[in-house]
Structure 1
Amino acid sequence: MILHLEALVHSLDKNTDTPIDLYIIYASLTAESISRVKFINDKLEAVTLILRPIPKESRQFIENINMDKARLPIGTYFRIIVPEVLTDLERVIYLDTDMVVNASLTPLWQTPLEGNFIGACEDRLVFYHRRVNAESVLFGKQGERYFNAGMMLMDLKLMRQYSTSFYSAQLALDTADVIKYADQDVQNLYFYGANKQIDLTYNYGLEYVQYTDRPLSEVAIIHYYGWKKPWMNMVTETFMHPSRRPAMHLYRQYHNEMKAILGDNPDVISVILAADQAQSGEFERCFEGFLTQTYTNLELLIVTAKGLTSDLQTYLKTIKPYYPNIKVVTGTMAQAVK
C-alpha cells in the first residue's frame, strides 16, 4: 500500500494551494511501513501524513462480511467505517490510493453537499451503459446515478448522526451474495437519493480518457481503477489503448519525481540503446521494460549514426515530457559510452 501511495502523496503536495492533512487509515502496518511513512512525511511541504489505526470496535463492523464474490480485499470496506475512525473530523475527501491529483482540491472541498451524506462522481459503468443503451444488472434504471466510491466528499458529522457505518455494514452482510463491487455497491444502495453528483473532473477514470476529449490538464483527479495499473507494462502485460497512455505516463512522472525527492535511487544508471536497426514498435516494447522498473533513476541514451526514423522521433516526442532522462546521441556506440 505504501509503495503505491507515494505518487498520490507527491501529486497532492505538488498541486495544492493550501495545507492538507492526509489521514492514512489502516488495520495493520509493519514497523518498516510506519518508518517509511514518517520518512516521506519529512520530505513533504504542504501535506502532513497522519497515521490512524482502525479501532477494534470499528473493524467489527466489517469482519464478518462475506467477500467470496466481491473479488476485492476486505480493506475496500474501510470506506464505510471512515466516520467511526476519524471521529474528530466533520468533513473529509476520501481518496483511493490508485489516483493522482492534478489540480487544487479547494473547489471540491468547498462544494456544498446540500444535506446529502456524500458527494461523488458517476462510475464508468454508467458511461458504458449509456453508450450501449443498457441498464445496470443490479440497479436497473437507478444505475443512472451509480457512483464510483474511489473519491467521496463525506459529511462525517451527518453520517455519524445517522449511524451510516452500522447500517451500511448490515446491508453489506445482507447483500454479500448478490453484490459485485463490494462496498461500492453497498454505498450506492444505501446512499441512493442521498448523494450529490460531483463533476467528473474529480474522479476521472481511464475509460473516460479513451472516449472523451477532455485534456488531462483540465482533470483534477485521475483514477486508475480497474486492473490496468500504471505500474504494469503497457505492451507486454496488458493491452493499453494509445489514448490512455499519457495518463499512465503522468502517474509514473509523479512516482519518479517522488522517488527522486526521497533519494531512493541516488546513483544514475545509464542504459545505451542502439536505434539504427530498430522499429518504433520494438523500441516501445524495449522502453516499457525500463519505464516500469522499480529503480527509477535511469538515463536512457539512444545512439544513432544515421538519425532516427520519423516514427521513433514521434514516439520519443510523446514520452520525453514525462521522462526527462531520455537523450539522443548521434554518433557511434563508442561515442555514446564516452
Structure 2
Amino acid sequence: MGHMHIVFTPNRAYLPYCAVAAASICRHLRTGERVTFHILHGGDIQKKDRREFSANLANFHDAFTAEFIAVNDFHDFSRRASELSVQTPAAYYRLYIPDLFPDLERVLYLDADLVACRSLEELYELDIEGFVLAGVEDAYATAQAQRLSLQEGTLYVNGGVLLWNMREIDRKRFHEDLSALLDGNLRCVMNAADQDMLNILFHGRTKRLDPRWNVQLQSSTDALNTALLLCGAHNSMPEKLCRLSLAQPYLIHYAVGGKPWVVGKRGEALYEHWFANAKMTGYYNEHWKRLEADGPPAGTRRAPEEPQTPDSVRAGQNGRSCAKVPPASPAPVGDAAKDACINALALRHATRRAALSFDMESVFTRPATRIGSDMLPGFFGRGGTYEPLLSLFSAPSVTRVQCREDAERADLFIPGHTFSDASLDALIAMLQAVDEAGKNLLWIKGGFITSILHGAAPESHIPACYKRVLGYVIDDITPSFDAVLPSRLELYFNSKASSLDLDETRHCRERIDYIVTNRLTKYNFQGAPVPEKLQTTAPKVLVVDQAYGDASIRRGGADGHTFAAMLQAARDENPGAQIVVKTHPDVAALGKSCYYAHLPEEGHLLKLTEPVNPYTLFPHVDRVYVCTSQLGFEALLAGKRVTVFGLPAYAGWGLTDDRQSCPRRTRTLSLEELFFGIFLKYGLYFDPHTLERCSFETFLLGMVRLRNEYCEFVQKYNESEVYA
C-alpha cells in the first residue's frame, strides 16, 4: 500500500483544527497505508506545541508521522505581497512546496479547516501526467478568473485542496515567474493571495478534480441554498453535481461563513462531520465539547480564536459577486445571497437584451406607461430630482416597488438605488418581473454632466432647479459603470458602428473643447480658484478618492485594497512628487465616508477636501490616478495621462493606463469616439430652463447659464445672511 505526503500550513492557533483534519484522514486509512504530515510554519510552533499535537492524536500513532518545518522566507514572498489582501505569512507558505520537497514525486496540500470523509488514496494516486496541479473549481471561479483577466473558460481552482505533481515543475522558472508576478501590475487585482498566483502561473496546466474532493461550504446557516446559488453561474458546476457533492462529500472544506468551532453544529450534517472527527482528538474535551452540546453563547467566540484566513478574507470580497437563480422557494438568506439572485437575473436579462437592437426613441412613444421604481414617486414629481423624465412618457404613473406585489402593477422599471444594500429586495422584485413576465427595464442614470448640485443636497433654502438632474445616460442592459456585465454602451464601443467620420470627429472635438474651457463636470457648484497648496512648482500627482462602497467600485472590479494599491503605485511610480488626494463631492455634501479618510496630510501627501472643479486641478498635476471615478474621463478630455485601477466605462479602450483588463473590450478608440459614445449615443438631455428635451449643445449652453445663475443666487443669499 502507498505512503502519502500531505502538507498543512497552520500557525500555532490553528494547530487544533489541523489535528482534526489529520484525525479525519487517519481514520480512513486502509490497512497498510501510512501518511506523513508535513506542517509548514513560521517559527511560532514550539517543541511543546509539537508534542501536544502528537499526544492529541494518540489514537493514530501507528498511522502517521508529523514533520514540522519552520519556513525561512528566503524569497521574501510575504513582504513583497504586502499589497495583497491576505498578508498573514502563513498564507504564502505553500509557495515553498517546490523548494522543500524536491525528492518527492507528488504531495497533497490541504487547508486545515477541512475533514476527510473517505480514504484519500484515490486522490493521491490520481493520474496527473502533464499537469502541475489538480484541484477543484473555486465556488467563485467565474468572478475570480475575470478579475485576473484569465482567458474565458480557464479553470480557476480553490487552493484548499491541491495535488502537486513535482516532476512537472521547473523550479527556476517558477521562482522567476513568481517574482515577476509579485512585482508586476497584476498584484493590484489579486485578492486571494497565493491562490491567485498559482492559478495565474499554472493556468492550462491544472487538472480539474471531481468537486466532491473539495466541497466548499460558504454559509454555516444555509449551506445547501448558498451552494446552489453559486453553481452554474459563478462556477461551471451543474446543479445536479452540486447536489451530489453536498450529499456525498469526500472532503468537506469549511471555507467561509462560519467555522464549526465557532458556530457549533447548527443541526447540519455537514457540520456534524467535523465534530465527529474532533472527538477523536485530545483537543475535543478542552475546546469543543461544550460548544457542540450548547452552541456558542450569543455574541461570543470559543477559544482558541480563529485567525483570519485567505478564505475568510476572500469571502467578504466576493460574496457580492456570486450569481445564480435560487430555488423556487429558497430559505431566507443574507444580502450576499440576494446579490447572487440579482446578478443571476441581471445576467439572464443582459443575455436576452444583448441579442436585440435598442432604439431609445421607441421607449418614449409607447402608450400609457406604469413606471415602477425603488425610489419614492416624489422624485419624479413636480420639483423632484427626476422631474424631467416623466415628460417623455405617455400618461405615466409611478409606483414605488418594494416587493413582488408592487412589481406586478408596473410595465416599465427604472431602478434608482443601483445595487444598493438598501434596495436589494426591490431590485429582485423588478428583475423577477422582467424575467418571468417579459416586462421592460431601463437603467436611467445621471450622466457625466448632470446638475448643479447633488440631488440629495440637504440645504432646504436652495431652489429645486439647482438640484434637478438634467443629463442622463440610458441603457437597457445594465448601467454603463457595471463591468460585471456588458452594457449597451460597451457593445456599441466594440462594434464598427462606433467609428466616426471626419465631420463627426470634428464635431466631437469642438464639444470637448467647449466642456473643458467652460469646466463642465458632473456637479457644477465647485468654485474655480486654484487651491493655495497647489500653487507651487513641485511635480504633483492627483489620486482620486471615492465615496465608500459606491456601486461603481463594487461593479467595477475594485475594493478597498484596490485603493491601497493605487496610492502605493502613485508613490512608487512618481518618486519625489507631491501626492494630491482629492475627496469625492459626496463626502463633503452628504457626509459620506471615503477610502482615504484616515490618511494624515504629511510629507509629500496633500489632501483636497474642499469643493474644487476638476478642470481647475488638471493644469497643476502631471498625472491622474483613479479607480472608477468619472474624474478620470474628465482628465482624458483635458489631455492628462490617466492611470485606472478599476474598470469604468471609459477604460479598456486604449486611451488609459489600465491596471486591470476586460477581455470583452477588444477595440481601440479615439478620444472623440469615446466621447461620442458616452455623451451622445445614449445620452438624454433637458433644457435647464424649460425642462423640455433638447440637443446636447442646447444642454451645454443651458448648464453654463444655470451655473452663473446659481453663483448669483449664492452671492445674494450670503449677503442677505450677513445683513440679516
Q: Distance between the aligned counterparts of 2:246 and 2:34, measured in 1? A: 24
* 2:28 counterpart of 1:8: no
CA distance in 2, matches of 1:169, 1:264: 45
Classify 1:2/1:263 alpha carbon distance in 2 versus 1 (closer, same or farther; 3 Å). closer
1:214 paired with 2:244, answer yes
C-alpha distance in 1 between matches for 2:178 and 2:257: 26
Query: How far did 1:160 drift?
Result: 4.4
- Matched residue, 2:386: none
1:186 to 197, 203, 207: 197
Identify which of 42, 46, 50 aligns with 2:67: 50
Deviations along 1:96-144, whole A, 9 cap, x unmatched? Answer: 1111111111111111112111111100003x76xxxx97333365365
Structure 1 residue 234: deviation in Å? Answer: 5.7
1:31 positional shift: 3.2
**Residue 15 of structure 1 contacts residue 104 of structure 1 at CA under 8 Å; is this kept in 2?**
yes
Corresponding residue to 1:83 among 69, 73, 98: 98
The answer to whether the Cα contact below 8 Å between 2:133 and 2:165 also exists between their aligned partners in 1 is yes
Q: Does 1:33 align with 2:49?
A: yes
**RMSD, aligned α-carbons:** 3.4
Q: String of CA shifts for 1:286-333, please: whole Å, max 9, x gaps.
A: 83137x8669xxxxxxxxxxxxxxxxxxxxxxxxxxxxxxxxxxxxxx
Supply the AA of the counterpart residue of 2:190: I
Instruction: Tell whether 2:269 aligns with 1:246.
Output: yes
Partners of 1:159 and 1:165 within 8 A in 2 = no
Q: Is the contact between residue 213 and residue 251 of structure 2 (CA under 8 Å) also seen in structure 1?
A: yes
2:331 alignment counterpart: none
CA distance in 2, matches of 1:263, 1:71: 29
Task: Check conservation: 1:61, 1:169, Cα contact below 8 A.
Answer: no
**What is the alpha-carbon distance in structure 1 between the residues aligned to residue 122 and residue 145 of structure 2?**
32
Looking at structure 2, the residues matched to 288 and 21 of structure 1 have their Cα atoms a distance apart, in angstroms, of: 34
Partner amino acid, structure 1, of 2:195: Q
**Which amino acid in structure 1 is aligned with residue 23 of structure 2?**
H
Match of 2:209 in 1: 198
Structure 2 partner of 1:308: none
Greater RCO, CA 8 A, separation 6+: 1
1:152 deviates by 0.8
Which whole-Å CA distance do the structure 2 matches of 1:214 and 1:151 have between them?
19
Aligned counterparts of 1:170 and 1:31: Cα–Cα separation in 2: 37
Q: Secondary structure at the match of 1:103?
A: coil
Q: How many residues align?
A: 264
| Preserved contact between residue 206 and residue 224 of structure 1 (Cα < 8 Å) | yes
Alignment of 1:152-171 (within 5 A): 152-161=162-171, 163-171=173-181
State yes or no: 1:139 paired with 2:149: yes
Partner AA of 1:179 in structure 2: M
**Do structure 1's residue 288 and structure 2's residue 299 form an aligned pair?**
no
Q: For 2:183 and 2:90, how far apart are their aligned partners in 1?
A: 15
Aligned to 1:232: 262
- After TM superposition, give the deviation of residue 161 of structure 1 in Å: 4.7
Change (3 A) 1:41 1:255: closer
The structure with the greater share of residues assigned to strand is: 1
Q: Would you say the 8 A contact 1:12–1:47 is kept in 2?
A: no
**TM score, norm. by length of structure 2:** 0.33
Distance, in Å, in 2 between the alignment partners of 1:229 and 1:103 is 21
Amino acid across the alignment from 2:67: I
| Matching residue of 2:158 | 148
| CA displacement at 1:219 relative to structure 2 | 1.5
Q: Distance in 1 between matches of 2:116 and 2:162?
A: 14
Q: Mark the CA change 1:135 to 1:24 in structure 2 (over 3 Å): closer, same or farther.
A: closer
**Bigger Rg, structure 1 or 2:** 2
CA contact (8 A) 2:134 2:209 kept: yes
Give percent identity, aligned residues only. Answer: 19
Distance change >3 Å, CA 10–CA 155, structure 1 → 2:
same
| 1:75–1:142 CA distance, 2 compared to 1 (3 A) | farther
Q: Sort the Cα spacing of 1:234 and 1:169 in 2 relative to 1 into closer, same or farther, 3 A.
A: farther
**Is the 8 Å Cα contact of residues 11 and 102 (structure 1) preserved in structure 2?**
yes
Structure 2 SS opposite 1:92: strand
Q: How many Å apart are 1:173 and its aligned residue? A: 3.4
Question: Given that residues 67 and 176 in structure 1 are in contact (C-alpha distance below 8 angstroms), is that contact kept between their aligned partners in structure 2?
Answer: no
Q: Tell me if structure 1 keeps the 8 A contact 2:155–2:206.
A: no
* 1:256 counterpart residue number: 279
Q: CA deviation at 1:75?
A: 1.3
Query: What is the deviation of 1:248?
Result: 1.7
User: Is the contact made by 1:80 and 1:168 (CA closer than 8 Å) also made in structure 2?
Assistant: no
Q: Deviations over 1:81-105 (max 9, x none)?
A: 1111223322101101111111111
Q: Residue in 2 aligned with 1:333?
A: none
Which sections of structure 2, spanning at least 5 residues, go unmatched?
1-13, 229-241, 305-724
Letter in 1 for 2:160: G
Query: CA-to-partner distance for each residue in 1:46-95, whole Å, 9 max, x for gaps?
Result: 222121222x3x53241432334413522111111111122332210110
* Aligned twin of 1:112: 127
Contact 1:67 1:182 survives alignment (8 Å): no
Report the Cα distance in structure 2 between the residues aligned to 1:216 and 1:10, rounded to whole angstroms. 21
Deviations 1:246-294 (A, max 9, x none): 21221122112323xx6855xx99x9xxxxxxxxxxxx9x83137x866
2:435 aligned residue: none
Aligned counterpart, 2:539: none
SS in 1 for 2:53: helix
CA distance in 2, matches of 1:115, 1:289: 47
Alpha carbons of structure 1 residues 264 and 215: separation in structure 2 relative to 1, 3 Å: same
Indicate the residue corresponding to 2:366 in structure 1: none
Aligned equivalents of 2:303, 2:78: Cα separation in 1: 34
Amino acid at match of 2:77: I
Return the letter of the residue paired with 2:74.
R
Aligned equivalents of 2:145 and 2:196: distance in 1? Answer: 15
Q: 1:173 aligned to 2:188?
A: no
Distance apart, 1:16 and its partner CA: 1.8
